[in-house]
Amino acid sequence: MNLKNIYLIFLLCCALGLHAENGYELWLRYKPVNKGNLCESYCLKSRKIMFPGETESLIAAKKELQAGLSGLLNMPYTEAETLEDNMLVVGTPQSVPLFEKQDFYAEINGLSDEGYLILDCTIEGKKAIAIAARTDVGVLYGVFHYLRLIQTNQSLDKLYIQENPKLKYRVLNHWDNLNGTVERGYAGYSIWNWERLPSYKEQRYTDYARANASIGINGTVLNNVNAQAKSLRTDWLVKASGLADVFRPYGIKVYLTAKFSVPKEIGGLNTADPKDPQVRKWWKEKVKEIYSLIPDFGGFLVKANSEGQPGPQDYGCSHADGANMLAEALEPYGGIVFWRAFVYQNERHVDRVINGYNEFKPQDGKFAKNVFVQPKNGPIDFQPREPFHPLFGGMPDTPLSLEFQITQENLGHAGHLVYLGTLFEETLQSDTYENGKGSTVSKVCKHTGNLMEFQPSPVFLILVQTLIGQDICSDKPTGMPSVVWHGIRIQAQAK
């Protein structure tokens, strides 16, 4: 055997031990901690787990904790029903009544619906780490945070972490078409396999929900803003309900885009005029049907009177008239409307930079309390560099949402190495001077919440067309840090 063949055999033997990664697991890889002393400390503090509870969200959290600890620490996941030293205790006061007797019980009660505590404590004389929350979804978020501490080799000594999301709505927007294609999509075909829903729910839907919940995303718009009317037909709503069932344990609500002309296209009416009583009645009945299928439906995202899309101006009505009609139908169920402020007609004389401002500024204060007017981060159209949209600071009496884009439409079509976190942060920290120096975009958005009955701040930040495609990671793993920034960092920007 010559030397060349020996080298070849050697390389083949080495290859047997290699494990290729395709990026599918994203940041939930849970590879073993390779620092010996640190790993021993983690194992000691997570040796036994008390984690009662049988709700869907608690079961999801428990599965995640089991997968995470087993993978990171290479140790069995061991539950116990009685307290021991060095135990991890996880739950709500309802699932772990012992929490009601602890000094930190008042702090649990002071958390928001999605907040959580992670702290070193002593329970009935036993040293423990508690992951506690008021709600099951809060527990899920706490579990993800705890695993992230281990993943990033953080110390678990003297832990005291209290988290309450600054933003109530943290939503992804898919520009996915019902035929499986994706507008401005550079990640292959749509992740949603509509033909097989709702009867067959693919594993990647659960993995999508896990990844989003792990960074605090709590909503997803399933379809393109250039909407098709049939997305609100009963058969398509049933399909959407299948996705909602998968996402619900992970605290993720489903939203749908609504084409304004739907009452005409599928409702049998001869008009979509928002002031027509029959049109208003039709929308109320349609919304009632949606909530019968998706009880936690989030609401509608609407693109109207822009780039050829139908809208209330077709009938001599204002954006507020159209948005308020939908808001009226959604309000009894707690649903909301996101009404896009990126509006312009395809005419040469229109100045797109000021068109949205000119149309929406005069309507400040005329929108219903559950309507969010939604400008893009800048006044042009997701440019690599542009100033913040002038409606931020220009509509003090209207709740505003903020629209970002992760898909790299104007940044190499996802073919270039781009990180967008700094762009997002620059927008949020830009000063509008609405109320003097320091009135940043993030604070302006937060303060619009004073008009609302939502707590915490109802700022909505949406990613227009995410990078997510059929392979979850989109075949563009270098773009996913921008998604992580949106989920984790953006919650802290409304300070």
Just list the catalytic residues: 307, 381, 409
Residues 6+ apart with CB under 8 A from 413: 186
Radius of gyration of the chain (CA): 25
β-partners of residue 116 are 163
Nearest CA to 444 among 454, 429, 455? 429
Say how far apart CA 44 and CA 355 lie, in whole Å: 61
Are the C-beta atoms of 225 and 340 separated by less than 8 Å?
yes
